[in-house]
Structure 1
């Protein structure tokens, strides 16, 4: 048997594991609906996506995309302003595409209920001061606005999920959260912890289509809602430039 390349553990927690072997990623998910969504979203999305090599539940094999990620949360991005603008343009192309046939994964009522539960946990656990949580909860309210127009949303558009080569977007990965969603949520997820890059993304996306205050509201809402999960799964939202710093900056 010939030797294989070194196996890199990209993500590993109780819900999913992603391994990299050479130019192949192996994704193992406890919820096969996530994989179903990823496969269908990749087929529908009018932007660069990874090639699906094969699927044998519970494993999905996809090819690595060329280029490098726009950056990493908590670290300065070395990508050019033009690359960030190109990311904004690619997201606009996605959002202008026909809606996927499945609805949003969570209703507004479910998002609000979770937000309130997470805020309570952050306060009672002592993870964050009450005034900090309360202020960000007030800001987050704008993200729960109504009405709003759904778009083909990626749903988890973290900075590490957008790859560029120079000033060109070469791939957008990890589509398991794709659905009919809020355009400003995608823009907020991409720029979380990189607020200074929002004008560049907005320039590529279309300034007339970006509601900066709603994006800021989503920064607060996402950071409040995700922090307990991050802590319980071995991540540190209090690392420099990460979720807790995002919340503190709102003060």
Structure 2
């Protein structure tokens, strides 16, 4: 499934609006018989990119290499990710994390977990892990000044932008981090990449070239597919988590 417009990612509280998903293979489990639910908002197998919401009851999965780069944003519950080298990452509601492709790890949750996910499994990717360990995003990390939107597309003054890159895959296509900007207005133009945005501060109005618009505020999440007409209008400072795929297709 693909889309030519941005998509608000809903939290699906209590699992409402999620579909039944197949059972996990018993051979992959240490304990539990998890019941899974989920919804794909974007799923492009040829590209290797999937975006959606996943929910599951308690289980423990065996140690195994991650088949794809995965970003997760925990909406409900908590889990423990244990790597083969003994490194342990605890995640809970509100936490964002990345499991790099190829990192050997086990997943354990003692109760229900619901999360937003973005997975990228490029056929061209190296079998070598993109990073040596699981990355848990620090939303208080220092952001450094960075380039802003194309001046020719602005309706007004240039914003001041800053970013912190927390993770980049080995191929330089899949990037996760933090970004902030002062208020600005950018004309609607085809979006140059695939990006999931989770807003931490401020609010913004998206608008397209046909007069449609939608507002987003802190705590909300949206996915923008490549090529979707997108304008940006913010009247307050904005800070967000970004998950970007810069790839052909």
TM-score norm. by structure 1 comes to 0.24
Question: When you count strand as a share of all residues, which structure comes out higher?
Answer: 2
More helix by share: 1
User: With CA pairs under 8 Å and 6+ residues apart, which has the higher RCO, 1 or 2?
Assistant: 1
